[in-house]
Amino acid sequence: MSNRVLIAPSILAADFARLADEIAAVERGGADLLHIDVMDGHFVPNITVGPPIVESLKKVTKLPLDVHLMITNADAFITEFVSAGADYVTVHVEACPHLHRTVQLIKERGAKAGVTLNPATPVSLLQEILPEVDLVLIMSVNPGFGGQKFIPSALQKIAAIREMLDRLHSPALLEVDGGVKVDNAAQVLAAGADVLVAGSAIFSSRDYAGTIAALRAAGQPASSTMAHAALHR
């Protein structure tokens, strides 16, 4: 298990008509990163937001922007997303035939570079690029929609990437996205994740701060969680 736990609310599940308020609420509630899902209707069967929204959000939050590109031609948009304020730009291995070039481009533009895999894509595809990246994202649902069910085989992939990163002494973050809830967060963290993306788990809950705290607490051994609860009774 890694000893840091970062929580990245996905705005896909937020109320888009009240985005600034929703973001302020998760920021107050202890979020560490803001996960922004960019979909193009080609790589995934859904369309969401582009650089202008990222630029607007940058003005209303201090949280680092974690931009997950689910688009076919990432290279053509990286400069724009970084200028708009993306701190992390994560691209799909399946959509980037020249992944090394794409990762270099993200870093040259001044952002941190992330790579990600669909549920059916083997972790071995990341072997060569791992030393170059700042973040690895394991998809635990097929990308395209929020509110889907966690695919359990992601756990083995998280553990395998954790091992590969540790072997390299890499400081890269290991992030997990899709179907992460308070009741499976402990397993995801035990497998070696550092960053939990959570859309519906947070934005469909009544108490964003409470849900963020519960997700984070899933990373602590049961005894210390109980001690913490006892302390705050």
> By C-beta, is 63 or 100 nearer to ligand DX5?
63
Catalytic, 177? Answer yes
Residue 144 to residue 43: CA distance in whole angstroms: 9
92 binds Zn ion (CB under 5 A): no
Q: Is 88 exposed, middle or buried (0-12, 13-18, 19+ CB in 10 A)?
A: buried
Alpha helices in 87-184 (DSSP H): 99-109, 154-167
Nearest approach, Cβ of residue 35 and ligand DX5 (Å): 6
Q: Which does 13 bind (CB under 5 to 8 A by kind): Zn ion, ligand DX5, none?
A: ligand DX5
Tell me the residue length of the chain.
233
121 binds ligand DX5 (CB under 6 A): no
Question: Is 66:36 a contact under the CB 8 Å cutoff?
Answer: yes
Q: Which of 51, 146, 192, 219 is in the footprint of ligand DX5 by CB under 6 A?
A: 146
Catalytic, 194? Answer no
177 binds Zn ion (CB under 5 A): yes
Question: Is 34:61 a contact under the CB 8 Å cutoff?
Answer: yes
> By C-beta, is 104 or 153 nearer to ligand DX5?
153
User: Which residues have a Cβ under 8 Å from the Cβ of 76 and sit 6 or more positions away?
Assistant: none
x/- site string to ligand DX5, residues 151 to 180, per CB under 6 A? Answer: --------------------------xxxx
Q: Which residues are catalytic?
A: 37, 177
